[in-house]
Structure 1
Amino acid sequence: MSWSQTVEKTVTGLGYELVDLERTGGGLLRVYIDRVPGHAYPTGEHEFVTVEDCEAVTRQLQYLLEVEGVEYARLEVSSPGLDRPLKTEAHYARFSGEQVQITLKLPFQGRKKFEGQLQAAPEGGGWQLIFTQDKVEQVLGFELQEVREARLVPVINFKGRRKAAPAASQDGQEAGATDGGQEQ
């Protein structure tokens, strides 16, 4: 088993998702983890990775990497951040409906970068990004192999990505959220 498979098996065994893994020439081993929705964690019901989550994974990885004889100078375990990368089909499915920024490998109509709402393609194959260009709604269909990089667009209010329930207006009728469905 390779060192990367060992790290992935350990992280997933602890109930976390391995988002990304980097190894630099200077001996730095960087591991990005995320919480799995619906999983109960001993550190509490938080939507995002906590310092305690990173500490728990770090302790386990330090022990395991020593036992396996994997050489490294420094180990960093952290959250993927607010602009979390999307790398697998499962990532795209989990964050369908969210605002994402994608960079294509090859330009489409003269550009590679697009930002909009991620959705599964209605015909069941691939993905689509719904965005506005020149005040006109556009739909860009794509397959994962066409994407160089995809990231969530950060939520600036730091209250998370949960959708807010429609607020009632003064006349008692529901009013649409004016913040794109984010919590206030």
Structure 2
Amino acid sequence: MAFECVDIEHSGRGLLRVFIDAPQGITVEDCALVSNQLTRTFAVEGVDFDRLEVSSPGMDRPLKKPSDFQRFLECEVKLKVRVPRNGQRNFMGQLVSADGSSIGLLVEGSLEPIVIEYADIERANLVPEF
């Protein structure tokens, strides 16, 4: 199927959440299509779950892979680093570069972007635009 699997969460009580995305966005029909396909596939493969939820990752989409960061260049990003930098773990700014090993984040009040290695990023999300 022509969808990207952004994330999978296995919650308590047998809930399995699958987040999908595509360049053109996700519709309710897309979620239903993927849900039906996954239900059949999981039955054949013996995947244990009670309920399946398929949805878009939302406006605050998580960024996990280098290709995610490259796709959303010039967007506002909020991220948390594993080890504090100058006593700070949370950053928000414009994503100005992304290569195979790191990103450049231009934070407010700074003239130069800070460079952060992917391995140092604990969590990163898009900042919703309204």
Structure 1's unaligned 5+ residue stretches are: 1-13, 38-46, 157-184
Aligned to 2:29: 52
User: Does the 8 A contact of 1:132 with 1:138 survive in 2?
Assistant: no
Indicate which of 50, 56, 77 corresponds to 1:100: 77
What letter matches 1:24 in structure 2?
S
Paired position in structure 2 for 1:15: 2
Identity of aligned residues (%): 42
Q: 1:100 to 1:147 in 2, by over 3 A?
A: same
Determine the structure 2 residue equivalent to 1:29.
Answer: 16
Residue deviations 1:100-149 (CA, integer Å, cap 9, x gap): 01111111111111111112269x8521100113xx43421111000000
> Given the alignment, which residue of 126, 149, 165 partners 2:102?
126
Among 80, 86, 93, the residue aligned to 1:116? 93
List runs of 5+ in structure 2 lacking aligned partners.
none
Higher relative contact order (CA 8 A, sep 6+): 2
Offset from partner CA, 1:52-93 (integer Å, 9 cap, x none):
000000000111111112110100000000000000011111
CA distance in 2: counterparts of 1:58 and 1:150, whole angstroms: 26
Residue among 42, 51, 62 paired with 1:65: 42
Compute the TM-score of the two structures, normalised by the length of structure 1: 0.66
Q: Is the 8 A contact 2:16 2:51 kept in 1?
A: yes
Give the aligned length: 130
TM-score by length of 2: 0.92
Counterpart of 1:4 in structure 2 is none
Answer 1 or 2: which has greater strand percent. Answer: 2
Alpha-carbon spacing, 1:121–1:76, altered in 2? closer, same or farther (3 Å): closer
Judge conservation of contact 2:70–2:98 (CA < 8 Å) in 1.
no
Q: In 2, distance between residues paired with 1:64 and 1:131?
A: 44
Note the aligned Cα RMSD (angstroms). Answer: 1.6
